């Protein structure tokens, strides 16, 4: 687009040079007014083209930023879903480990209680038999 604008300006300069050389010198000011009018017209066209180019460039930047934001949102959504799944797996494993630990502790406590009860009963009867033997 810059090259096009440069070529357009160069063409305008060459046209003005051609008009300056080819116009008869006797006419004076009317030819200068025509050249000035054409120059203003070309300047306005170039200015309009530049503004249009600037607007379209800004629109392209906005579109590109919007697309990048959308892609970032999509990637973030995927990462959040993966993290959620990983947390669910960890929670399930923790639940299983806690359940196994509780079951093991309960079983150990039960075995310990039964063993303690057996020893208490055994000691009770042993102490009875020792007392019977002493009497």
pLDDT tens-digit series, residues 20-65? 677 655 555 556 677 788 888 888 888 888 777 777 777 777 788 8
Number of H helices, E strands in the chain: 2, 0
**CB under 8 Å to 42, separation ≥6 — which residues?**
8, 12
Note whether 35 and 18 are within 8 A (CB): no
How confident is the model at residue 81, as a pLDDT? 92
User: What percentage of residues in the chain have a pLDDT greater than 90?
Assistant: 7
The CA distance from 47 to 53, in Å, is 10
pTM (predicted TM-score): 0.41
Count the domains in the chain: 1
Print the domain residue range for 53: 2-129
The structure tokens listed for 80 are 């959040």
Residue 95 belongs to a domain: yes
Residue 135 belongs to a domain: no
Residue range 98-118: mean pLDDT, rounded: 89
Residue 29 belongs to a domain: yes
How confident is the model at residue 82, as a pLDDT? 92
- Condensed to tens digits (0 to 9), the pLDDT of residues 61-86 reads 778 888 888 898 899 999 999 988 99
What is the radius of gyration, based on Cα positions, of the chain? Answer: 49
Average pLDDT value over all residues in the chain: 81
Instruction: Give the dihedral of Cα atoms 89, 91, 94, 99; nearest 10 deg.
Output: -110
In Å, how far from its chain's centre is CA 120?
Answer: 68
């Amino acid at each position: 687009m810059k090259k096009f604008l440069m070529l357009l300006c160069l063409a305008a300069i060459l046209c003005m040079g051609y008009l300056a050389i080819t116009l008869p010198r006797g006419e004076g000011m009317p030819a200068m007014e025509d050249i000035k009018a054409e120059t203003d017209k070309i300047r306005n066209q170039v200015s309009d083209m530049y503004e249009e180019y600037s607007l379209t460039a800004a629109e392209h930047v906005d579109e590109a930023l919007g697309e990048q934001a959308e892609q970032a949102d999509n990637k973030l959504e995927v990462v959040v879903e993966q993290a959620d799944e990983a947390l669910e797996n960890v929670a399930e494993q923790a639940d299983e480990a806690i359940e196994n630990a509780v079951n093991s502790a309960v079983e150990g406590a039960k075995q310990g209680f039964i063993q303690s009860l057996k020893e208490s009963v055994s000691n009770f009867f042993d102490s009875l038999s020792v007392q019977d033997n002493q009497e």
